[in-house]
Amino acid sequence: MNAEGQTNKNALPCHTACADDVTDEAAKSEALRKLPFLIRRDGVWLYRGSPIKRKEMVCLFGSLLTRDETGGYLLRSPFETGYIEVEDVPFLAVELDWKGCGRMQKLCFRTNVDEPVVASREHPIRAVWSVPSEACGGGGCPPYLLVRAGDGQFPIEARLSRPVWYELAALAEPGQCGGEPCMGVWSCDCFFPLARMPADPSDP
C-alpha cells in the first residue's frame, strides 16, 4: 500500500516469494544429473562399476563431496556437479589415537581419505546405544563420526571400522546420558555414549 492508501499491484506477499525460492531450489536439484559413482559400504569408490584404485583420486573426490538440503550426496567440482550413490556413509574411520586422559582426553581419528578428525562438540560420535546390541544384528551397531557439515542439516559422516570400534570400546567408562546409565568415552570435555550399561549378574 502506498502513501495514498492504494495497493501496489507489483508487490508480492512474503509467503509467495518464499514459495518461489523453494521451487527454484527444487528445480536446481532436478537439473543436476546423476554421476556414475558409487561408494560402497566398505568405503570402496566405484566409477562405472569399477573400483578406483588410486588413493590420490579417492582423496580428491572425497574432498569435493557434500550433501544437499535433502540429504543427497553431491560431488561438486569446478567442472561438473552431480549426485552420486552412497550405500551407507562415504567414509570410514580407520585409525584412532588418543591423547591425555579423563574429560579432556582427545580422541583423534583418521579416515580412509586421510582426513584427521578430533571427536568434539563440533565432531560428535553418534552411536545407537540405547537399544540392546542384539537388536542391531550380528556384531552390534557401529558408531559414526561427524567429519564435516553439508550444505544443509545433513552432515557427512564416517563409520568406525571394526578395529577402531574395538579400540574405542576399550576406552569406554561408566557415565550417564539423559539420566540413563551407559558406557561411553570422553573427548574434548564431551561425553559420547556407546552402549547400555551391562546388566549386573548379581541383580535378581
> 176: number of CA atoms within 13 Å, CB side?
3
**C-alpha cell of residue 194:** 556407546
Across the strands, what pairs with 92?
159
> 43: number of CA atoms within 13 Å, CB side?
18
pLDDT score of 177 = 86
Q: Which residues contact 98 (CB under 8 A, 6 or more apart)?
A: 105, 106, 107, 108, 171, 187
Percent of the chain surpassing pLDDT 70: 76
**C-alpha cell of residue 36:** 556414475
Segment 190-196 mean pLDDT: 91
pLDDT score of 136 = 60
Higher-pLDDT residue of 129, 99: 99
How many residues are given for the chain? 204
Per-residue pLDDT band for 3 (boundaries 50, 70, 90) equals: very low
pLDDT score of 56 = 97
The CATH architecture assigned to 91-196 reads Roll (2.30)
pLDDT score of 32 = 86
User: What would the pLDDT profile of 42-58 be if each residue is shown by its tens digit?
Assistant: 999 999 999 999 999 99
The superfamily in CATH containing domain 14-86 is duf1285 like domain (3.10.540.10)
Percent of the chain surpassing pLDDT 90: 65
The answer, yes or no, to whether residue 13 has pLDDT greater than 60, is: no
Per-residue pLDDT band for 141 (boundaries 50, 70, 90) equals: confident
pLDDT score of 8 = 44
User: What would the pLDDT profile of 142-151 be if each residue is shown by its tens digit?
Assistant: 899 999 999 9
Task: Using a cut of 0.85, tell me whether the model's pTM lies above it.
Answer: no
pLDDT score of 196 = 81
Segments making up each domain of the chain, as ranges: 14-86, 91-196
Mean pLDDT of the chain: 84
